[in-house]
Amino acid sequence: MVGLVSLINKHKDIKLWLVLDNIRSAYNVGAIMRTADGSGIAGLVLLGITPNPDNQLDKIHKTALGAEKHVPYIIYKDVKTFISELKDANLISNFGALELTNNSCNLFSWNPKSYDLPFFIAVGHELLGVSSQLLVASEFLLEIPMNGFKESLNVAESSSILIYEFYRKYKKLGC
């Protein structure tokens, strides 16, 4: 299996690695892969029960529409191994989570100081959110502001917003 550091070195153009924490739906994974491919700057870390192209290709392909062939990803069955590899690679300072907490920062106000190292941002289980192990390891917490009755969006929608807001800040695109 390819290790995290070698994957990062192979894909230096990837500035954002979304960490899919126990996502249940292969369709959500496929949709996230399609957005990651569309941005051109995102790869995936698939944690726990998250479906992957090795075990649920047909369902993922239904929403990824071929993006699954182009988006780099790595699979971890347990959180501890992933966090350990992040720490060993001195990347833990660029690890965060998209989760509504008392300490979350508005995604649209967040401004990374540097893009020298890639960022790793966890998105969580459709009902349970990001696991406590990942939240404790996070150096920063982000949230998408919600102004209606519901407090969250679908994980694929949230991931799309995160990816493209990161893209906008990284590319500093203007009219």
What number of CA atoms fall less than 13 Å from residue 60's CA on the CB side? 22
Residue 98: CATH number of its domain: 3.40.1280.10
Question: Do 93 and 131 form a contact (C-beta atoms < 8 A)?
Answer: no
Domain carrying residue 60: 4-171
For residue 92 the two structure tokens come to 């833990």
Question: Do 49 and 75 form a contact (C-beta atoms < 8 A)?
Answer: no
10-residue stretch averages of pLDDT, the chain, 175 residues long = 86 96 96 95 96 89 90 96 95 96 96 92 93 97 94 94 95 64
| pLDDT tens digits for range 146-165 | 999 988 899 999 999 999 99
What is the tally of structural domains in the chain? 1
